[in-house]
Amino acid sequence: MAKAKVALYSLCSSTDLLQMSAYKQMGYSPSTLENLRCLLSEFNGATTTSLGDVVFPVQASPITLNVQFSMVDDLSPYNAIMGRAWLHKMKVIPYTYHQMVSYLTEEGQVNLLGNQLATRQCYQVALDSGHPVDKEAHPESSNTMEQ
């Protein structure tokens, strides 16, 4: 199973997103995408066109779910954005202050912890590349997970 190192979970995103660059780094070809060219609306009212959809298994130990990702090109410094669809399927409880999500399994509660170093690196990449970021927000408040 290929791994996407840095992901962001977002309560604002209704769609699970994957960067085309991460998809290619995992060794996949854009020709395998389905549902080409769908419009995605951003929270600020702008629209982005997806490059297509792909279904990947996403493992958040010990649970593995098949997740449909909309492929985007250079939308964010994160490899993947796990939106409400994944969060709801996992029945997670997000704790933004503590940079973690929790969910229950048959064995008990599982906590996925954020990675502050990865968060800061993504924040810096966003600043350096001109991606829109809230300069008042501190990278400590982000929801970056490294899986």
Q: How is the chain split into domains, by residue range?
A: 6-146
Q: What is the mean pLDDT of residues 105-120?
A: 84
Task: Answer with the residue of higher pLDDT: 78 or 27.
Answer: 27
Name residue 67's beta-bridge partners: 56
pLDDT for residue 136: 45
Rounded Cα distance, 129 and 90, in Å: 32
Q: Where are the beta strands (DSSP E) in the chain?
A: 6-9, 16-19, 39-41, 47-49, 52-60, 63-72, 80-82, 93-95, 100-105, 108-113, 144-146
Does the pLDDT of residue 27 top 80, yes or no? yes
Give how far the C-alpha of residue 129 lies from the chain's centroid of Cα atoms, to the nearest Å: 19
pLDDT band at 64 (very low <50, low <70, confident <90, very high): very high
With respect to CATH, is domain 6-146 assigned 2.40.290.10? no
Range of weakest confidence among 1-15, 65-79, 96-110: 1-15
Backbone angles phi, psi at 106, to 5 degrees: -65, -25
Range of weakest confidence among 75-89, 106-120, 133-147: 133-147
